[in-house]
């Protein structure tokens, strides 16, 4: 039987930004971490690798390009969704004033459904591109209603 002690010492984790709605209807961003990685083969004879199986759900996958100078005025994520920039940079600003800038390899979860307008009429989040190139994003929208308004820590 192989000794997995060394592997467990190097068990990976993955940080992501979680956009969510608090009990007062205010959107917030919290850095969260995925930690449930298991070393296993993904299929057949493939060598073992680290996998974190978050969940099974109905989903839609989109690839989108946000043009240079694009700004998505205050809005909620249309569905709970995982967002991964593939190229370029973009930002997300939540109602609590937190602004996070992301580029290739960063991960964000958009779960700010059911926000309430603040005193400025802002609802959800503001987002936009940064710099002189478009931001290309991969988006995995979760169409299963149980993920609506997911909170940090719900993906353990």
Please check whether residue 139 lies inside any domain of the structure: yes
Please check whether residue 48 lies inside any domain of the structure: no
Which whole number is the average pLDDT over 120-126? 97
Which residues make Cβ contacts (< 8 Å) with residue 43, sequence separation at least 6? none
Residue 102 β-bridge partners: 90
Please check whether residue 7 lies inside any domain of the structure: no
Please check whether residue 2 lies inside any domain of the structure: no
Query: The domain spanning residue 22 has which CATH number?
Result: 2.60.120.10
Please check whether residue 97 lies inside any domain of the structure: yes
Please check whether residue 94 lies inside any domain of the structure: yes
| 43/123: higher pLDDT | 123
Q: Are 56 and 73 in contact (CB under 8 A)?
A: no
Asked if the model's pLDDT at residue 5 lies above 60, the reply is no
Length of the chain: 156
d(CA 111, CA 29): 10
Asked if the model's pLDDT at residue 24 lies above 70, the reply is yes
Please check whether residue 3 lies inside any domain of the structure: no
Q: Residue 9 has what pLDDT? A: 64
- Number of separate domains in the chain: 1
Q: List the structure tokens of 123.
A: 């609802």
Please check whether residue 5 lies inside any domain of the structure: no
| 56/125: higher pLDDT | 125
Q: Residue 1 has what pLDDT? A: 44
> Domain residues for 26?
12-34+56-147
What are the tens digits of pLDDT across the range 36-82?
Answer: 899 999 888 899 999 888 888 889 999 999 999 999 999 999 999 99
Helix or strand run (H / E) with residue 9: helix 5-9
pTM: 0.87
């Amino acid at each position: 039987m192989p000794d997995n002690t060394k592997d467990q010492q190097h068990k990976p984790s993955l940080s992501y930004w979680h956009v969510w709605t608090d009990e007062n209807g205010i959107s917030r961003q919290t850095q969260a971490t995925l930690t449930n990685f298991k070393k296993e083969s993904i299929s057949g004879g493939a060598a073992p690798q680290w996998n974190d199986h978050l969940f099974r759900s109905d989903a839609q996958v989109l690839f989108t390009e946000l043009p240079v100078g694009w700004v998505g005025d205050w809005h909620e994520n249309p569905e709970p969704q995982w967002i991964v920039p593939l190229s370029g940079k973009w930002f997300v600003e939540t109602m609590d004033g937190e602004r996070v800038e992301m580029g290739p390899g960063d991960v964000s979860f958009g779960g700010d459904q059911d926000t309430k307008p603040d005193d400025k009429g802002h609802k959800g989040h503001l987002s936009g591109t940064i710099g002189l190139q478009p931001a290309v994003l991969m988006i995995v929208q979760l169409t299963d209603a149980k993920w609506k308004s997911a909170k940090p820590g719900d993906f353990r």
